[in-house]
Amino acid sequence: MYKVFVNDKPLFLTNKIQKETDFQLFLLDSIDISRLVVKMFNNKVKKAYLYHPDEKEIMRKLKSKMPVNKAAGGLVYNKNGEVLFIFRNGKWDLPKGGIEKGEKRKDAAMREVEEETGVGKLTVTGKLTKTYHVFKRNGKYKLKVTHWYEMKSSFSGEFQPQLEEGIEKVAWLKPEEITEALQNSYQNIKLLFKAETANG
């Protein structure tokens, strides 16, 4: 099962028919995806399931119904076990951005971390889960697929928040501060930390 967030509301892609309780179930083959997305953005639908019998085909089907934007980002630890966060649009987030043509995902993730925060001396230590969310750009809804990497950094210089990307603040957060920051973050970022705790 995949979880795609639309304005922080969950859209589940599933190959199991479930009885509707607090959500609506739609058939992926016949759904007008943009109408559903608009309803979710306007709070008319809080939670939805898209059904397709073949789990292997399910994400491909969704991608065939809307433009896809590929991104990569980093969950970066320093030597004190603190995690690199950025503050943008009134929320705590992790550095990430679009993958350029011909660029490897891992390289894109490292480049974006450095561009958005000024933090260098990065080493990729593992591959994390992929996250999915729908966003609106130039009047069109797009599916963003973000590939996440765990990284370590020995950087100890000054942060350089990428102001033109709307980043107001960059910070190393201690484990107890992360819990607080996640209260004011995105569902996908919370998912990453859940997966990290489960694996760690």
Q: Return the CATH number of 68-199, one of 3.90.550.10, 3.40.1260.10, 3.30.530.20, 3.90.79.10.
A: 3.90.79.10
Dist. CA 13–CA 23, nearest whole Å = 13
Determine the Cα–Cα distance for residues 31 and 15; give it in Å rounded to an integer. 15
Per-residue pLDDT of the chain (200 residues; tens, 9 = 90+): 999 999 999 999 999 987 888 889 999 999 999 999 999 999 999 999 999 999 999 999 999 999 999 999 999 999 999 999 999 999 999 999 999 999 999 999 999 999 999 999 999 999 999 999 999 989 999 999 999 999 999 999 999 999 999 999 999 999 999 999 999 999 999 999 987 766 65
CA–CA separation, 89 and 173 (whole Å): 18
Residues comprising the chain, all counted: 200
CA–CA separation, 174 and 152 (whole Å): 15
At residue 120, the pLDDT reads 97
pTM across the whole model: 0.93
Per-domain residue ranges for the chain?
2-65, 68-199
- DSSP H or E run through 23: none
